[in-house]
Amino acid sequence: MRLTAAQLAAFRTEGFLILPGLFSRAEVDVLRAEVPRLFTDDSPANIREKISGEVRTAMGLHLRSEVYARLCRHPRFVEPARQILGTDRLYIQQAKINAKVAFTGEAWQWHYDFATHHAEDGVPEPLALNLHVFLDDVTEHNGPLIFIRGSHHDGPAATALDTQTTSYALWTVDNETVARLAKAGGLVTAMGPAGTALIFGDCLVHGSPSNMSPWDRSIFSLILNPIANAQTRFARPDFKHHQDFTPVVPLADDCLLTVPAAATA
């Protein structure tokens, strides 16, 4: 799969792409079928919400599931990432599902990913890409991501580590900066049916509100980073930043539909 010149230009200008229907309903069904097993694992890679105790984020998925190992090597993710970054030498930095369970899923504060990648892992440059696929329909009601259009042009904003708001410590951007960037670029809510994909860059400021609705909202997120820009600090667990810098090689386009039954039992 190749992005068009118009998509590449939009990515550079706005900092993100929304790709409706990138994955089919049949592919989403394969991805969703793995979720109950993964969420009931007694694993430190399943991080729970502060209030409800429901799974907030389930990490390290490419090591815990053949289906998600394949998704991380899916050509509809890997080829656009190679195209944007201009290199075939990318590694899987992180693979997770952010669940936002109906009524209780908590917010992700305003942040950009490079703040964490740099401060925690010593990633030198803001090159990593975050590639999402919606596992549920995402609407204005169930805690969608909100992007600040063009905020990546401002470069890495000042951040502070917030260990209080949720169970997941995050380097966050202050309200004054958010207000300035939002007035300049506007906010875009990333919505669409299950199977919709997103690609956004490491300096794009984004966040998402809590899920007050009666509808679950799960989104898979893959971070791919150039091997030449790999982490230089190794303090975080492997499930937060994978320490194997083997180049990711794309599989066949139908790889999610050919998973042997034994691999999902």
Interaction site with ligand AKG (CB under 6 A): 98, 108, 113, 130, 145, 206, 208, 219, 221
In terms of CB distance, is 91 or 220 closer to ligand AKG? 220
Q: How far is the CB of 252 from ligand AKG (least distance, A)?
A: 27
Q: How far is the CB of 113 from ligand AKG (least distance, A)?
A: 5
In terms of CB distance, is 149 or 206 closer to ligand AKG? 206
Q: How far is the CB of 117 from ligand AKG (least distance, A)?
A: 10
In terms of CB distance, is 91 or 114 closer to ligand AKG? 114
Q: Which of 98, 111, 108 is nearest to 59 (CA)?
A: 98
In terms of CB distance, is 165 or 259 closer to ligand AKG? 165
In terms of CB distance, is 34 or 249 closer to ligand AKG? 34
The span from the CA of 56 to the CA of 225, in Å, is: 23
Q: How far is the CB of 109 from ligand AKG (least distance, A)?
A: 9
Q: How far is the CB of 263 from ligand AKG (least distance, A)?
A: 26
In terms of CB distance, is 16 or 91 closer to ligand AKG? 16
The span from the CA of 184 to the CA of 6, in Å, is: 22
Q: How far is the CB of 197 from ligand AKG (least distance, A)?
A: 13
Q: How far is the CB of 209 from ligand AKG (least distance, A)?
A: 9
User: What DSSP letter does each residue of the chain carry, written as one string?
Assistant: ----HHHHHHHHHHSEEEETTSS-HHHHHHHHHTHHHHHHS--TTEEEPTTT--EEEEE-GGGT-HHHHHHHT-HHHHHHHHHHHT-S-EEEEEEEEEEE-TTTPPPEEEE-HHHHHHHHH---SS--EEEEEESS-B-SSS--EEEETTGGGG-S--EEEE-SSSSS-EEEE-HHHHHHHHHHH-EEEE-BSTT-EEEEETT--EEE----SSS-EEEEEEEEEEGGG--S---S-TTTS----PPP----TTGGG---GGGG-
In terms of CB distance, is 3 or 95 closer to ligand AKG? 95
